Amino acid sequence: MGNPVEVNGIIRTGEGTTIASFKTYHDGIGKVPFKPQVGKKYTAEVETVAGKRTYQLPEVKAAGINLKIQDEKMQDGTRGKKFQLSRSEKDKALFGTVVLVAAINNHVVYENEISFEDYPSVIGHIVTDSLPSGILHFTVFNKDGVPLAERLSFVDNQEYVSSGSIAATKISEAKRAENNIELSFPDAIQRSCSVAITDASGSSFNDDDNIWSRLLLTSDLKGYVYNPAWYFNGRNDTTKQAIDNLLLTHGWSRYNWTKLLANQYPEKRNYEQPFISISGTVMDEKNKEALENGRLNLYVEAEDSTTQNYEVKVNAAGKFRMDSLLFFGKAKLYYAYTDSKEKPKPALVILTDNSLTKLIAVLPGTMLNNVMVRDINTTRSKEEINTRYGYVKSRLDEVKELEQVTVHAVSNKKPIDIVNEKYTTGVFRSPGKVNLDNINQPANDKSLNAVDYIKNRIQQIEIQGGNIVNRKNMSLISGQKWAVGVFIDEAPATVLELRLLRADELALVKFYEAGFVGVGSNFPGGALAVYTKDRSNEDVKPDKLSFVEYNGYSISKQFYAPDYNNADQKHPVSDSRTTLYWNPDIYTDGETTSMKLNFFNNDFSKKFKIVIEGFDATGKLIHLEKVVGN
């Protein structure tokens, strides 16, 4: 495989007579019509930049069915597909009656028995205005259900398009400058999308795929399709003809009628995974003998501070098993064993292998068939890559090596650090935007409820519609501010629960800005973590129980994005990022039609490419793309 090349040539008969000429239409693909004759041989003489080659064309079959599909627009304005079925004169009785089936997205949308009678060909029409967009698969069957001919055609009604726009409200080419963009949508509806902003100053391979081309086109085709996004850019007669040519050269990947009718079904490749499965043996802590027919109580504390409780039976062999668990990071599994007489007994739990490691399979040998291998030396991108490499290297030369020094570390924890270590775990251990230490700096008015205490000290939050919201993040159209998640002792809570607490009951309050990884997508405005002085589980801490460690799913990491407006943040000496902003969790609600995003430039980019992709609540696909800068 490689980049497509332009091709032209001629078709000759075995006697050397030229009967047709051809050339590619787009990206090395084209078609040429001619009527072959039975018994004659044909060759194609092809010319490219690499020279000339000759190919022997397949032998002409004496009998069979021909299927031709064309786009058409009817007099009343409706769009459809015109099909023409032709049969050979030889053995025409075998093809006197056929069945034409058209299917899209695994649903049959047209099925009709067609009789030729005394005609050599039959013409019909299918209205496609009401069909979903995608590949329309035509198949002709004989009276015994054997497939005789197939043809792929594309339906593009554009009902899948979710409209929107990108506006660059502030763009600066200066090093590490702040830039602002605004996403706008015509209507207020729930949306979920991702945003990527990359350096666009260099050349590219011009081989792009997007959410439209992936879901509607390439996922249903065999082999590699070069630059599939191009077929959805113009949506004009040129792209329609090009996509039709593409479907003539690429095979259908969903199913093979011949194999299915011969009871040769495809092997099932995807199996439902039971998430995390934990199994093991429970033994007596002293003599290491298996404990029989008891009950194991498990308390799972994950790395992201989430907790879960489980109760599982232990069989006569001392074995236990539980599946469909879901937690992230390295977890501690605290356990306590109770025998069949409901008496606690010291136990030792030995776990089997981690079930997640069994999901890793050897790559199939065919995986590399669709991989493009390009020589970087033959592309225009090499110059841009060399420029970036030289820039980074030059900045490395600016680093001066210091003379040997001796560093003496002195532990000097602040009082709030001690409180933080005592009460917080996981992602909540990191410092917030605002941190209130009510142990070392207690409130003067101890009768205040927790909500008023917090509102008086954290100016960035307020109450709106009975919820805590972030003042800084809001919809300019609806005025609705982004919700802030509330946690009491790291458990999700409501504003009402927070009002029931008095100020003197609080130990620590932390406010995290929008995008805090521990809060999830339901609260885009950030998180408010409140810790009480007397927690209910303080007397029976899980770490007093025996525990084993188990690795869960990897914790999602927040994409690194420096804030050069923050003087307190440590910044890199050299900023050579090519991806300047990436956020896979951008949401809008039923009251929001626009949102603003900001990002900071690196040390060299002058032009930026913005791509937004996702879907809305009606199932429409979002794809917005814009290049800004010079």
The H or E element containing residue 37 is: none
Of residues 75 and 290, the one with the higher pLDDT is 290
Q: How far is CA 112 from CA 126, 142, 153, in A?
A: 11, 12, 18
* Per-residue pLDDT tens digits for 246-263: 999 887 766 666 666 666
SS3 state at 512: strand
Among 54, 200, 109, 14, CA closest to 630: 200
pTM: predicted TM-score of the whole model, two decimal places: 0.65
Determine the Cα–Cα distance for residues 437 and 455; give it in Å rounded to an integer: 15
Give the CATH architecture of domain 415-536.
Beta Complex (2.170)
The CATH number of the structural domain formed by 65-155 is 2.60.40.10
Q: What is the pLDDT at residue 379?
A: 52
C-beta separation of 512 from 519 below 8 A: yes
* Domain chopping of the chain, boundaries: 8-56, 65-155, 276-358, 415-536
Structure tokens at 52: 């000339």
Which pLDDT does position 292 carry in this prediction? Answer: 93
End-to-end CA distance of the chain: 34
Is 290 in contact with 345 (CB distance < 8 Å)? no
> Cα separation of 611 and 220, whole Å?
24
According to the model, what pLDDT value does residue 539 have? 41
pLDDT at 399: 54
Closest CA to 139 of 112, 117, 160, 105: 112
Tokens describing residue 592: 């929001």
H or E segment to which residue 240 belongs: helix 237-249
Q: What CA–CA distance (Å, rounded) separates 561 from 598?
A: 10
Let me know if the fold of 65-155 is the same as that of 276-358: yes
CA 410-413-416 angle, 5° bins = 170
Q: Is residue 535's pLDDT more than 60?
A: no
Pairwise CA distance, residues 415 & 439, whole Å? 9
Residue recorded with tokens 């030059």: 394
Which token pair is 123? 């013409």
Cβ count near 376 (within 10 Å): 9
Q: How far apart are CA 457 and CA 25, in angstroms?
A: 67
Looking at the predicted structure, is the pLDDT value of residue 397 above 60? Answer: no
**pLDDT above 50: residue 315:** yes
Residue 536 has pLDDT above 50, yes or no: no
pLDDT for residue 537 = 45
Lowest mean pLDDT among 127-131, 157-161, 446-450: 446-450
pLDDT digits (tens, 9 = 90+) for 66-75: 999 999 988 8
In sign, the C-alpha dihedral spanning 560, 304, 424, 458 is positive
Q: Does domain 276-358 have CATH number 2.60.40?
A: yes
